[in-house]
């Protein structure tokens, strides 16, 4: 009876696996591939806080990058003509919708009514010590 149960379980698992489709992305040429955590420039036109975005905190990049509790999910280049406060709202919104709960900013530059920066979004299991 035990052999029958084992055989039934193995058969079920094999049939389950046959029904699954695995897709493997094509290999990229290493000379042309970008860091998978980077994206193209995002231009911000308007910013209204999303529910929950207030829980996304801003931290120094050195702390989030070096924390064992945080992993970077994505880095985005931002360009904004909005005031400082609205730019931060837009950053927190974007972090929230990507599943991050912390963000760090590098490369902040303000010139000719245009703010450019790189935002690094992090998923932190704990923000203690940040």
Query: In the chain, what are the domains?
Result: 35-124 (3.30.1660.10)
Q: Could you read off the pLDDT tens digit of each residue along the chain, which spans 130 residues? A: 555 555 555 454 444 433 433 333 444 444 444 444 555 555 666 778 899 999 999 999 999 999 999 999 999 888 888 888 888 998 999 999 999 999 999 999 999 888 899 999 999 998 887 7
- Here the tokens at position 19 are 């029904």
Residue 6's pLDDT is 57
DSSP string, 54-87: GG-EE--HHHHHH-TTEEEEEEEEEEE-S-HHHH
Residue 100's pLDDT is 95
Write the DSSP symbol of residue 3: H
pTM of model > 0.85: no
């Amino acid at each position: 009876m035990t052999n029958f149960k084992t055989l039934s379980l193995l058969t079920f698992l094999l049939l389950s696996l046959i029904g699954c489709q695995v897709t493997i992305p094509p290999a990229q040429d290493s000379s042309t591939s970008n860091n998978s955590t980077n994206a193209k420039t995002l231009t911000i036109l308007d910013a209204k806080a999303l529910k929950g975005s207030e829980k996304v905190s801003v931290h120094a990049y050195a702390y989030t990058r070096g924390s064992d509790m945080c992993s970077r999910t994505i880095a985005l280049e931002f360009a904004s003509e909005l005031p400082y406060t609205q730019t931060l709202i837009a950053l927190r919104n974007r972090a929230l919708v990507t599943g991050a709960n912390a963000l760090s900013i590098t490369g902040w530059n303000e010139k000719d009514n245009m703010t450019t920066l790189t935002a690094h979004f992090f998923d932190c299991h704990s923000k203690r010590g940040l």
